[in-house]
Amino acid sequence: MKKLVKPALLSDPELMRARQRPLEHRHRKDRFFKRLCQGVSSISALVLVVLLVAILLQGIRTLNTQFLGGVADPDPTIAGLFPALMGSVWLLVITMVVALPLGVSAAIILEEFQPRRPVLRRVHDFIQLNITNLSGVPSVVFGILGLTVFVSMFGLFGNEQNPSYEVGATYVDQFYNEGDFIIEVPIADSQQEEVVPKEGLAAFTHDGEPILVHLLGDDEDWPEDLALAKRSLRSWDLPGRIKERDWWYFRLPFGRGILTGALTLMLVILPIIIISSQEALRAVPSSLRQASLGLGATPWQTVRYVTLPAAFPGILTGAIIAMSRAIGEAAPLLMIAGIVFITNAPGNLMDDFTAMPLQIYNWAGRPQKEFHDLAASGIIVLLSALLTFNAVAVILRQKLQKPLS
């Protein structure tokens, strides 16, 4: 039989105070920790605000249409960000097109179609472990991987100058004659020997007009007739070989083009997309899956029409985080493209490129103050693009989000 406690003991003031001391101590520690977190957060926010205001005040003076539409130039008064801006747009679009289907598909397979056999289960767990580990790998490591795999393809397909396969390229031997006219002779490929000027050689002017080369003798005067001067050459004239590329130009290996940069960024953000998509799929109640399967739907129909639409807002959130990281990455792009002087926006997937982080890094490393102002303007543009992209994605998420019922 349990022993009853006397009411006098429960009302003892000293006993009640003794019981309240540990509770008050815990409350003090809780208040201290809460204030500490608030203080650290306030200091961090204050530092961020100070940095943003300093960048805004420094870069707002050079942020104009000339800066947005100009190209890289040694003169800071006319230098602009347009090639880097377009390079970032190309990178972002290609990365998103490649990474999102791969990441979401991998997450669906790993989460919704888990194997039951012990051997396959161990393989599944091994893949999941590696994906989790890859999400914490420094991005420069992916840059080295992209340099080895995409740029040179382990040396199995030649090099950028002599690719083993290319399509959409035309090689031309170009002559400058004494009249400052350009004569272009198409050739079969880059391995062909240089064209030697000769009488009646089929060629084109720089405007694309077909002509037949007229060969002048060593002691023959330059013709005064303009039409004849346009197609005249000396026997000692030497050509310069150029490569004209169509917009659909493609080669193996990829080289240091924009496709390589996008695929490298895809490696950087792919673990983030997979993990965030898996978390979004786990958040869908299992009762929805069971109801769909109970009505006779197949597992794939359940994923397609029930699970995936319900998880789409969470998947989109993960994609926002991943693309936000991709647009600001500089380390892997430095490994691929380096700091190069690019004055044109990319015209095809194999073109050389630069991006906003690379151009900002280039300007910030120069000693002149004018270039530091340009770097601050570039940071403002980069932050504006990032915030705009996030805002659009959040609006889309809110529009597409449906309550689970």
pLDDT in tens, 89-148: 999 999 999 999 999 999 999 999 988 889 999 999 999 999 999 988 899 999 999 998
Alpha-carbon Rg for the chain, nearest whole angstrom, is 32
C-alpha 308/C-alpha 299 separation (Å) is 12
C-alpha 123/C-alpha 216 separation (Å) is 74
Q: What is the pLDDT of residue 17?
A: 63
Q: What is the pLDDT of residue 6?
A: 47
C-alpha 317/C-alpha 118 separation (Å) is 33
C-alpha 213/C-alpha 183 separation (Å) is 8
Domains and CATH numbers, the chain: 66-157+255-400 (1.10.3720.10), 167-251 (no CATH)
Q: Is the peptide bond before 253 cis (omega within 30 degrees of 0)?
A: yes
> Which single residue is written with the structure tokens 């009302």?
11
Q: Check: pTM over 0.85? Answer yes or no.
A: no
Q: What is the pLDDT of residue 87?
A: 92
> Which single residue is written with the structure tokens 């739907």?
297
CB atoms within 10 A of CB 107: 24
240-252 and 165-176 strand pairing? antiparallel
Q: Residue 262, exposed/middle/buried by CB under 10 A (0-12, 13-18, 19+)?
A: buried
Q: What is the pLDDT of residue 10?
A: 45
Cβ distance 284 to 310 under 8 Å?
A: yes
Cβ distance 174 to 203 under 8 Å?
A: no
Per residue in 248-276, pLDDT (tens digit) is 899 898 989 999 999 999 999 999 999 99
Cβ distance 266 to 368 under 8 Å?
A: no
Q: What is the pLDDT of residue 379?
A: 94
Helix axes 139-146, 258-282, angle to 10 degrees: 130
Residue numbers in the chain where pLDDT is lower than 50: 1-2, 4-10, 405
